[in-house]
Each structure stands twice: as structure tokens, then as C-alpha cells.
């Protein structure tokens, strides 16, 4: 490949790679927001977006140890909804399984 052709390919690739990313026309808006985080323990803050995403966090300092718990939820590009509950304290960050009856529990209770 000649030098001018290689230069032309390099300029074209640079132009394409440096182009701004397309932003979706459906950007999420804030539906609900709460903030009680003023530096005094305990605190809580949360938000909910129009795309179904949300975040909620509670925290406190007890006996000099910071303890935070909360959850966040989002929908991936394929449409699956994900939700994570977590705790972060002296023991580190860890996810907590959500405890619930599940969808079949209501069906079995109705039939009895």
C-alpha cells in the first residue's frame, strides 16, 4: 500500500473513531428524588428514573464504624430487569439475597 493511501486510511479511521457517540432519543428523567444526607448520622438518599432505574441507600455511624445498606435496579439493553441489595460495613461490601415469597406462593395460598 502506498504512503498516500495509508495516510488516507489513517485519517479516515481517526475521523470515524473520534466522532461523538450517538445519544439515545429516550433519555431517562428523574421522577422522584430524596436526600437526607447532611453529614449527621443516620442518613438516606434515593432516586427513581423514568426508565425504571432506581437507587436507595441508608447509612449510619455507630461506635465509630460506618454501615451502609441499599439497593439499585436497572434494565439492560435486552430488557431484563436487574436488582441488587447490598451491605457495606466493617465486614466489607457484600450483596444480600432478596427474601420474598416468590410468584408461586400467592397461587398456593389462594387455592387453600
- Per-residue confidence of the chain (112 residues) as pLDDT tens digits? 555 554 455 555 555 555 555 445 578 899 999 998 877 789 899 999 999 899 999 999 988 889 999 999 998 888 889 999 999 999 999 998 866 555 554 444 454 4
Query: Which one, of 38, 83, 81, 77, lies nearest residue 56 by Cα?
Result: 83
Q: Residue 40: what pLDDT?
A: 76
| Residue 85 grid coordinates | 441489595
Side by side, which strands form the sheet with 54-62? 30-36, 43-49, 54-62, 65-75, 81-89, 92-95
The set of long-range contacts for 19-24, using a CB threshold of 8 Å and a minimum separation of 24, is none
Please, are residues 49 and 31 in contact by the beta-carbon 8 Å criterion? yes
pTM of the model: 0.61
Amino acid at each position: 500500500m502506498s504512503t498516500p493511501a495509508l495516510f488516507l486510511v489513517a485519517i479516515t479511521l481517526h475521523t470515524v473513531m473520534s466522532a461523538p457517540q450517538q445519544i439515545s432519543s429516550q433519555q431517562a428523567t428523574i421522577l422522584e428524588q430524596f436526600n437526607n444526607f447532611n453529614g449527621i448520622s443516620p442518613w438516606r438518599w434515593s432516586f427513581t428514573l423514568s426508565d425504571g432505574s432506581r437507587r436507595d441507600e441508608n447509612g449510619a455511624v455507630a461506635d465509630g464504624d460506618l454501615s451502609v445498606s441499599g439497593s439499585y435496579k436497572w434494565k439492560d439493553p435486552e430488557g431484563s430487569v436487574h436488582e441488587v441489595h447490598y451491605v457495606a460495613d466493617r465486614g466489607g461490601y457484600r450483596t444480600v439475597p432478596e427474601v420474598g415469597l416468590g410468584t408461586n406462593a400467592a397461587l398456593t395460598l389462594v387455592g387453600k
